[in-house]
Chains A and B, each alone.
Chain A
Amino acid sequence: EAGVAQSPRYKIIEKRQSVAFWCNPISGHATLYWYQQILGQGPKLLIQFQNNGVVDDSQLPKDRFSAERLKGVDSTLKIQPAKLEDSAVYLCASSLRTKTSGLRADTQYFGPGTRLTVL
């Protein structure tokens, strides 16, 4: 079974530039998550999709971050304009979780992440 794919693996940009990350979840996984992991910290949830609908985006800085999941499969996360404090690893994860599956289906499988450096 193929895992969660992410690209690019590394990105270096200057502040105020824009950047986009792509994620392809495990086939059949209804729920997709984007996390931000700053060096030395645990992952922080940015946005959670179930199929192509947003479940939770309470910690997404909506003035500069946006995300979409077209057709309930692939997802992109965009930052525009980037700030120095956005330097982090952006992790995508997916799970089988649906509205009725409950917690036991919530095992999240993570991709390798995209390491973003903002200069």
Chain B
Amino acid sequence: QKEVEQDPGPLSVPEGAIVSLNCTYSNSAFQYFMWYRQYSRKGPELLMYTYSSGNKEDGRFTAQVDKSSKYISLFIRDSQPSDSATYLCAVNTNAGKSTFGDGTTLTVKP
């Protein structure tokens, strides 16, 4: 069993839709939760991070963590064609080792 499981996608939505991206993790030692965005042929870039249960909002993006069910989500409001990319969830332990999900590829159609 993988330590981090991510909804595989791909996901295709019309412009303006609300997008929900989801991951589950197995180890309660993970304390730090991140979402990365990766455009084609580029390295991942950090979108959001959080270290507690609850919601964290940044513009059109909301990261949600539920430690009791080991579930993390990223919501994108008013999705734009420029949001088309692969989204990776990642979790960290205190030692700073990141474990990534396999990514969900999102396409937002104009």
Interface of A with B (CB < 8 Å)?
4, 31, 33, 40-45, 48, 55-56, 91, 93, 95, 97, 103-104, 106-113, 115
**Stretch in B61-69, B75-83, B88-96 touching the partner:** B88-96
Q: Are B97 and A45 in contact (CB under 8 A)?
A: yes
B91 to chain A, nearest CB (A): 11
Q: Contacts A56-B95, A97-B96, A103-B51; is A112 near B102 (CB within 8 Å)?
A: no
- Total contacting residues, chain B, CB less than 8 A: 25
**Cα separation A59 to B23 with both chains bound (whole Å):** 23
B4 surroundings in chain A (CB, below 8 A): 42
A45 surroundings in chain B (CB, below 8 A): 97-99
**Cα separation A31 to B96 with both chains bound (whole Å):** 10
Q: Are B43 and A42 in contact (CB under 8 A)?
A: no
The 5 closest A-B pairs by CB, nearest first: A110-B43, A42-B100, A103-B32, A42-B102, A41-B102
A59 to chain B, nearest CB (A): 10
**Cα separation A78 to B97 with both chains bound (whole Å):** 21
A40 to chain B, nearest CB (A): 7
- The reply on B46 being an interface residue by CB < 8 A is yes
Q: Are B44 and A110 in contact (CB under 8 A)?
A: yes
CB nearest neighbor in B for A107: B46
CB nearest neighbor in A for B46: A107
Q: Are A106 and B41 in contact (CB under 8 A)?
A: no
- The reply on B49 being an interface residue by CB < 8 A is yes
CB nearest neighbor in A for B45: A110
- The reply on B53 being an interface residue by CB < 8 A is no
Q: Contacts A42-B88, A103-B92; is A108 near B100 (CB within 8 Å)?
A: no
- The reply on B42 being an interface residue by CB < 8 A is yes
CB nearest neighbor in B for A99: B96
**Cα separation A48 to B95 with both chains bound (whole Å):** 11
CB nearest neighbor in A for B36: A110
**Proximity string of chain B (31-62) to chain A, C-beta cutoff 8 Å, 1 when within and 0 when not:** 11000000001111110010100000000000
